[in-house]
Amino acid sequence: MAHTQVEEIVSWIISFNEIKQINQDRNALIHFLAFILDQFLRSGNNLASLKQNFQSYLIENQHALNAQDALTVVHYFEKNVCTLIEQRLPMDEAQTVCKHIFHVVEVLHDTIIYIYYPSALDQRYVDLPPSSLVIEDTMHTPFLAMLNQVKWTGEWSWIGLIQLQPDIQILEMAIWNQDTGSFTLVGKHASWNKKIMDTLEKKDAFIFRIGVALTTELVAYGSGTKLDIHRLRQIGEWLRRAFRFTMYLEDTLSLKDQKLQLYDAVLQFDNALLQCDDVWDVFEVTVEKGAQLAGFKRSALFWYTMITKTFQGVHGYNVPIESIRSIHITLENLVKVREVLETSHPVFYEDMAQRLPKHYVDEFHLTSLIFIPLRLSNDPRPLAVLLIDQGGTPFTLDNETRVLLERLMQRATQAIHYHLKRIDHLTKTPAAGILNLREQQVLSYIAEGLSTNEIAQQLYISEHTVNEYVRNILKKLEATNRSHAVAKAMKLRLI
């Protein structure tokens, strides 16, 4: 350093001692100022070198400097060096040099903010000094490439990206190769898992750990310098952001995939409904296709009759249809699932043991069960209710499946309504040309599950007369038995 430069530094230090807002030990700050002046004179226009040296200095001396006083020193440097330049150089040259000084101060200022305020990483990154290594192997992972782009000043045995739960698992592991002066990837072998586990359990003084995700850490073993550790923290921050971004992408892609699956299932269901010729076909599609598209093993549809306030079994999937059609259940037996009648959304019950009559629970081995009401928006009661499960195996209902079931049954309800309107001429006078009044009464009692003797008592007629009415009903409806007659009558809205 020239004699005149030494004199200038000494004079600045003397005047620096007169600053009153300095809080720290003045010796540390004078040493800091001298370092800045020396680096400024040495670095010339090489701002990258200045940044690297300044960063290293701050990390090594952070214990002796606080951010406020460090910024005060930089401000003092800027003010005095610009004053000196303006005094000694012509105006044009002075402006050029002061512009350079401005850039120098900007580098110093940003580095102080980065070192002392980690949150500044959101906006500012200090460049890691690249090593002299040229990476030509395209098979190197980004993690290894990042490690080998850093010029390490200490000695590291290995650096790894480790998943700690549920068991220790190596995601990436690099060991230092003394011959090449670089890190090299190693295989994910069980012996390394044990070595890492032992090292972590011993809480070795030579191990450094940084959390980068919920159960993942950046782990380094060796004798790195403070500058190395700071750079590891920076790498850890980058990895943390990469993990967050990856999770965001996975969530976004998963959501898009779920939507595509929903759209595809709805399109398949709509296509099946469009091919239905009558309401009975819609019942079949609702029960069978609905269960298949939603991933369930069995289902059954029950039609609600307002007059008798009963649910009548109509159709089943992977369950004996005759068993379903023989079921007539009144509202009094549905008290513990009453909410099904008050909503238009699927209702899930984890255990049906105490909610339905025991003989139904035992006969069909009911455990978890979903009730899906098929309801028009202006109706006080549902047209029908679809019951769906996994064949007696307990299960849970996730939100995606709930949404899918609701969308499918909304379409099924509209299809049923459409086909019922097509036979509206029958529903206006249900018995006209088909059943007489007494036959309607008998069929309604059959739908309620009454026996021949019970029907005879209700109508004050003999059992023989009841059987005659039943034969007439089967003939007129072209039904094979009583359950079939009830199903066809419901299809035609006769009951």
In a domain, 274, yes or no: no
In this structure, the strands spanning 216-223 and 155-163 are antiparallel
In a domain, 273, yes or no: no
| Residue pLDDT, tens place only, 394-423 | 999 888 899 899 999 999 999 988 877 765
Q: What is the pLDDT of residue 293?
A: 92
In a domain, 369, yes or no: yes
Domain that holds residue 79: 3-122
Degrees (nearest 5) of the Cα angle 398, 380, 445? 105
Q: SS3 of 394, please?
A: coil
Specify whether 111 is located in the same domain as 163. Answer: no
Taking the CB of residue 57, how many other CB atoms lie within 10 A of it?
19
| Main-chain phi, psi angles of 348, to 5 degrees | -105, 130
Specify whether 409 is located in the same domain as 433. Answer: no
Residue after which a domain boundary falls, among 122, 150, 180 = 122
For the domain that residue 440 is a member of, what is the CATH number? 1.10.10.10
Specify whether 285 is located in the same domain as 390. Answer: yes
Gap between the Cα atoms of 147 and 105, Å rounded: 30
Specify whether 384 is located in the same domain as 449. Answer: no
Specify whether 323 is located in the same domain as 205. Answer: no
Residue after which a domain boundary falls, among 367, 386, 421 = 421
- Tell me what the pLDDT averaged over the chain comes to: 78
Specify whether 459 is located in the same domain as 346. Answer: no
In a domain, 137, yes or no: no
Q: Which residues contact 304 (CB under 8 A, 6 or more apart)?
A: 310, 311, 312, 381, 382, 383, 384, 385
In a domain, 127, yes or no: no
Q: Which residues pair with 317 in a beta bridge?
A: 299
Query: Considering its fold, how many domains does the chain have in total?
Result: 4
For the domain that residue 312 is a member of, what is the CATH number? 3.30.450.40
Specify whether 288 is located in the same domain as 416. Answer: yes
Specify whether 404 is located in the same domain as 441. Answer: no
Specify whether 7 is located in the same domain as 100. Answer: yes
Specify whether 403 is located in the same domain as 432. Answer: no
How would you write the pLDDT of the chain (495 residues) with one tens digit per residue? 444 444 444 455 445 555 544 555 667 777 888 888 888 777 777 877 888 788 788 877 877 777 777 877 887 777 777 777 777 778 888 778 777 777 788 778 777 776 776 544 444 444 444 444 444 443 467 788 778 877 787 888 888 888 877 777 788 888 888 888 888 888 766 677 777 777 777 766 678 888 877 778 888 888 877 777 877 887 887 787 777 777 666 666 566 667 778 888 888 999 999 988 888 889 999 999 999 999 999 999 998 877 667 888 889 999 998 899 888 888 888 888 888 888 889 999 999 988 888 999 999 999 999 999 998 877 777 889 999 999 999 999 888 899 899 999 999 999 988 877 765 444 444 444 578 878 888 888 888 778 899 898 888 888 888 999 999 999 888 888 888 888 888 777 676
Specify whether 301 is located in the same domain as 196. Answer: no
Specify whether 14 is located in the same domain as 87. Answer: yes
Q: Can you give the pTM of this predicted structure? A: 0.44
